[in-house]
C-alpha cells in the first residue's frame, strides 16, 4: 500500500505534537514534515516533539514548502492561518484537513472557495461520537415541535480562545437544519440582565470555561413536564488526533470539494 505523506502545521503546539505522534503510530501514514513559527536559530526534531526518538526531520517555518512535499496537510491552528493554508491547498492541489474552529463568515467563504480547487475536509470536531451526536440532534429536532426549547451547553478548558465552541455551533446548525431554519436567524448567544421570557423557536447557547476539560457538549430539548438531553464528553484529546489522521488518509486523492467527517464515516 502506498503511504500517505502527511504534514502538520502548528507542529510545536499541544495539538500539533499529538498529531505528530498519531501520524507516526498510524498504519498507512508517513510523517513527511511539520511547520510552525520558530524563533531565529531554533531547531525542533519532529520525533522529539512527538515524545519519541530523534527522526532527523526538523520543523520548518515555510508552509508552502510543506504543501509541495506532502499529500495531505493537517491544520489545527487559528482561523487566519487556516484560511492561508486553504489557499495553499488550492494553489498546490494538495489535500487539507482543518480542525480549527472560530472562523467567521468571511473566513468560511474563503475556505469554501479554496475547496473548489482542492480536497478540503473541515470539521468542528473530529470524534466519531460527536458526529453521531450531530445526526441524533438533527433527527430529534425534526421530530419535535417549536414548543420544545433547545439549549446547547458546552464546557472546555480555560485556554480555549473561541466561544461558543465550533462543536457547539455545529450542534446548533444540526438542530436548526432539523427544524428547517437558519441558525443565525434563531440563535441566542448570551443572556444578561432583564431579558424577558424566552422567545419560542430560538436555540440558546451557554459557554463554560475552566480547568482542563477536554470538551463536554449537551443539547437540551426542554418541553412541558419532560426533557431530553443528548450529551457527549471527551476525556482525551487523542480522539481528535485519531479522527484527523483517519480523515487525512481518506482525503488523499479525493476530487476537489468541501468534505466533513460524515463523509469519512459514510453517515
DSSP conformational letter for 156:
E
From 85, 94, 156, 252, active-site residue: 156
pLDDT tens, 51-93? Answer: 999 999 999 999 999 999 999 999 999 999 999 999 999 999 9
Overall pTM surpassing 0.85 (yes/no): no
What domains does the chain contain, in order, with CATH numbers?
Answer: 4-122+237-265 (3.40.50.720), 128-234 (3.30.360.10)
Q: Give the position of cell 431579558.
A: 195
Q: Determine whether 156 is an active site residue.
A: yes
Tell which residue, 172, 168, 170, has the closest CA to residue 141: 172
Cell of 40: 531565529
pLDDT at 267 over 80: no
Crossing angle of helices 79-92 and 105-114, rounded to 10°: 20
pLDDT tens, 25-62? Answer: 999 999 999 999 888 777 899 999 999 999 999 999 99
Q: Determine whether 160 is an active site residue.
A: yes
Amino acid at each position: 500500500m502506498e503511504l500517505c505523506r502527511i504534514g502538520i502545521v502548528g507542529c510545536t503546539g499541544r495539538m500539533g505534537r499529538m498529531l505528530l505522534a498519531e501520524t507516526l503510530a498510524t498504519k498507512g501514514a508517513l510523517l513527511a514534515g511539520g511547520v510552525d513559527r520558530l524563533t531565529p536559530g531554533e531547531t525542533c526534531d519532529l520525533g522529539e516533539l512527538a515524545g519519541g526518538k530523534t527522526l532527523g526531520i526538523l520543523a520548518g517555518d515555510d508552509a508552502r514548502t510543506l504543501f509541495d512535499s506532502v499529500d495531505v496537510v493537517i491544520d489545527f491552528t487559528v482561523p487566519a492561518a487556516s484560511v492561508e493554508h486553504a489557499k495553499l491547498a488550492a494553489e498546490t492541489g494538495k489535500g487539507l484537513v482543518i480542525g480549527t474552529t472560530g472562523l467567521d463568515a468571511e473566513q468560511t467563504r474563503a475556505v469554501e472557495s479554496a475547496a473548489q480547487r482542492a480536497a478540503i475536509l473541515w470539521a468542528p470536531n473530529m470524534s466519531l461520537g460527536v458526529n453521531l451526536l450531530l445526526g441524533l440532534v438533527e433527527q430529534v429536532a425534526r421530530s419535535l415541535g417549536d414548543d420544545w426549547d433547545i439549549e446547547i451547553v458546552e464546557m472546555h478548558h480555560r485556554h480555549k480562545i473561541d466561544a461558543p465552541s465550533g462543536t457547539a455551533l455545529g450542534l446548533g446548525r444540526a438542530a436548526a437544519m432539523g427544524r428547517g431554519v437558519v441558525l443565525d436567524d434563531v440563535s441566542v448567544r448570551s443572556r444578561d440582565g432583564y431579558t424577558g421570557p424566552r422567545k419560542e423557536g430560538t436555540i440558546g447557547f451557554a459557554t463554560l470555561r475552566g480547568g482542563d476539560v477536554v470538551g463536554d457538549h449537551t443539547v437540551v430539548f426542554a418541553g412541558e413536564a419532560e426533557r431530553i438531553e443528548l450529551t457527549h464528553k471527551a476525556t482525551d484529546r487523542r480522539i481528535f488526533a485519531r479522527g484527523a489522521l483517519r480523515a487525512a488518509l481518506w482525503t488523499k486523492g479525493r476530487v476537489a470539494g468541501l468534505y466533513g467527517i460524515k463523509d469519512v464515516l459514510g453517515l
